[in-house]
A and B are shown apart, each in its own frame.
Chain A
């Protein structure tokens, strides 16, 4: 484990402890009121979902075309994290929507494309687990499709008529709301980095176990 891991984990833990205080002290949004506070975890988790998808896609590309085994481990780890952060996004979103839109779910382009992207990464993990020999390459191909979805999901709200807010919400946040938001985003991205590190370590150890089994057979 790298030397920075424990201090970074402590900082991340502290950030997650402080974040509810900052969120509670942030002003109420004029039209939505209290339920808008979900925003401070919903949007950072969605952005982390995108980052995980891109990390998975880029490393799958490196594995497919560069035969880099470490990249494959990184991609596999990032895919699992994409599923975790995607699940958080897809659960917190409807809880917010129920109050502000009056419905749990709407089949509009942002929500539907996010769900599709999440399902691609679930498919990645399923192929990886049950695909048999060659599953790594097949799942890497899936990850490329998952990554290709990221810009589409992001800009979809600007090009289609949708009930979801557009992408200009975050850049136009007042400081009183922007500060807790950027703080939470930093906490989520730090957590993602730490979990990715742990998950890659797990993959390395599994590879070491496999090589030891081979050594014992020889």
Chain B
């Protein structure tokens, strides 16, 4: 059922795509240099999300790494304690 629905949607989109594309206004070629700050708002890329993404990534990466090292340290420490107890038991016996 789902496959049929996807197939129908695909056929519909394929049929409509040339008409939609044909209705697009032709791009106006620029003949002179336009500074980024003077571009129309719809063509300007906002800086905020990029800065937030960059800083979030740094914090997440560093936090994730610290967490990973702490987890590995705890696990090895636990194993070390267990083995030390085993060795002591072995020497006593």
Binding site for B on A (CB under 8 A): 20, 33-35, 37-38, 41-42, 45, 84, 87-88, 91-92, 95-96, 98-99, 191, 195, 198-199, 201-202, 205-206, 208-209, 212-213, 215-216
Contact = CB atoms under 8 A, between A and B. Distances in A.
Contacts of A96: 50, 54
The number of chain B residues touching the other chain, given as a range, is 20 to 34
Q: Dominant SS at the B interface?
A: helix
A111 to B, nearest CB: 16
B83 A88 contact: no
B10 interface: no
A99 B50 contact: yes
Given A191-B62, A198-B69, A199-B69, A41 B83 contact: no
Contacts, number: 78
A92 B58 contact: yes
A98 B45 contact: yes
Given A199-B69, A208-B80, A98 B50 contact: yes
Enumerate the 5 nearest inter-chain pairs by beta-carbon distance, A residue then B residue, closest first.
A34-B47, A35-B47, A212-B83, A92-B54, A95-B54
A47 B69 CA distance: 22
B55 A198 contact: no
Nearest to B72: A202
